[in-house]
A = this chain, B = another copy of it.
Amino acid sequence: MKQYNFLIVLSMTLISSLISAQNEPVKIIEDFKASTVNQPGQEYPQVNSQGYARFQIKAPDAKSVVVSLGLGGAKGGTELSKAENGVWTGTTAGPMDEGFHYYHVTIDGGVFNDPGALNFYGSTRWESGIEIPAHDQDFYALKNVPHGNVQQILFPSNSTNTSRRAYVYTPPSYAKEQSKRFPVLYLQHGWGEDETAWSNQGRVNLIMDNLIVEGKIKPFIIVMTYGMTNEVKWGGMASFKIEPFQTVLVDELIPYVDANFRTLANQENRAMAGLSMGGMETKTITLNKPDVFSHYALLSGGTYKPEDIKDKSKVKLVFLSCGSKERPDGVKNAVIGLKEAGFNAVSYVSEGTGHEFQTWRRSFKELAPLLFLNKK
């Protein structure tokens, strides 16, 4: 089994963020607004134009309220202070990276979510989420354009003896062009996340809608399912076995999707991509099943070496990406090697982001226009 480093990378990203924050005494601009992923009507958490986040939580009798998100705060988070009205308030010690972040609140030693924020599944639990407005947020904004649908399917899985859930994005033209068939991307979440991550945190349906209306991609279907088929604990990745998930994906989900959606049901029109742990799964399954997928993409999820791939003629695209705060040289050098060996390989590095969803939103935006170009 190869060594997969995304947990290490995640830790390094956090540590380097903490160190850099120490050196930046900045005046905080008081233009805070409610985060765009707050619960309806909730004014907090807030973010300002510099990327600072401010929290406000009511707990009149609490001794301590600490938000896990933050830079340079105690315990790596942001300690809130109580006002006389029983409301705790605090601002991050530094600006946060652009994009989406998970967080939670520790109240008197217990871990809870911020009642003001929407919840997103990460770290094997529903966590609070916050959006730091990004300079490029337009590409994943909800716009007045034709929208594709995201549908929950429940597909039979004999290997796990249950009905399993997946989400399927169909492009706006899917309902209109009843005789047309579409290529399919199988898109995996990361460790501790689930099949909701790419559309909730990743906004992949909106990225697709926007790319399609701009004419930048060939419309395709996206299928997202749960990849932690055998339960994976922190530190247990060394013993991770791909077979249970590979069986669900290749032997159960793909046939179901091909039977129930108007797909182009062949290798040339089938791609697999994944972020972080989903990248590890993508790498292993694409190499195990060269006749199933033709386009491979690892987002902050490792690299391929030319010698990993047995039959070059079957691979139409290798896409590798990560954030600039991860290990961009690894991704770039791997693509140089793949290109030298004659592969259609592309690298992408997201500037100023780490092992988080902004990296993966941007990576997806770069990846999508490269998929299924070989087919008419």
Show the binding face of A for B, using Cβ within 8 Å. Answer: 39-41, 57-64, 86, 105, 107-113, 115, 118-119, 124-126, 142-144, 147, 149-156, 162-163, 168, 175-176, 178, 205, 231, 260-261
Contact = CB atoms under 8 A, between A and B. Distances in A.
A163 B175 contact: no
A112 B116 CA distance: 10
A150 B153 CA distance: 7
26 contacts: A39-B126, A40-B124, A41-B231, A59-B107, A59-B110, A61-B64, A61-B108, A62-B62, A62-B108, A105-B112, A107-B107, A107-B108, A118-B126, A119-B126, A142-B154, A142-B162, A142-B163, A144-B156, A144-B162, A147-B154, A147-B155, A149-B168, A150-B151, A151-B151, A152-B205, A175-B260
A288 B162 CA distance: 45
B175 A125 contact: no
B62 A110 contact: yes
Contacts of A41: 124, 231
A134 B325 CA distance: 51
Contacts of A144: 156, 162-163
Contact of A110 (B60, B64, B126, B155): B60
B115 A107 contact: no
A270 to B, nearest CB: 19
A82 to B, nearest CB: 10
A261 B149 CA distance: 12
A162 B141 CA distance: 12
